[in-house]
Chain A
């Protein structure tokens, strides 16, 4: 009964390819997020959705496109992958969009671009 799950756990691909990462939460939360953690463990928010509506869109290349088909899912599609995209991508969710809410993280997707 994993709360926030991501697939795949590992993703190795060539430069220029297009790939997707999927995220699902079974907590009944309204808000979901994508974070990127680089090799130095720095964690930076990329996107957040509240009730399927995009509310945070940080300075992320247009090659990254999130999609939320419903409140329980937030997928991340990456076009034309580059070496610098190699990182761990975390999905998270929270009950709602209020600042005091706890975020629950998935186990991460380790992306390696060759």
Chain B
């Protein structure tokens, strides 16, 4: 199975901050990586697919980059409603595997 190592696991941030989250795959997954937001008690919501494609309806402050084994997710200017847990998913091969998640909190 492909291991997805996500960092950091926790981030204390402020409104307006630039937030960066990383996912590293244990082997090449090309660009087959998605990023999700999960608010407490809700289902995950797709933000970015195939490493850098913004899902329809998602604000442009969210972006993704990377290919191969190293990927980055960025929120350019954190808004209060962005407080949530974010995680990555590789869909290059089965079984699909997930990063461990990054929980954002406001300072």
Chains A and B come from one and the same complex: no
Binding site for B on A (CB under 8 A): none
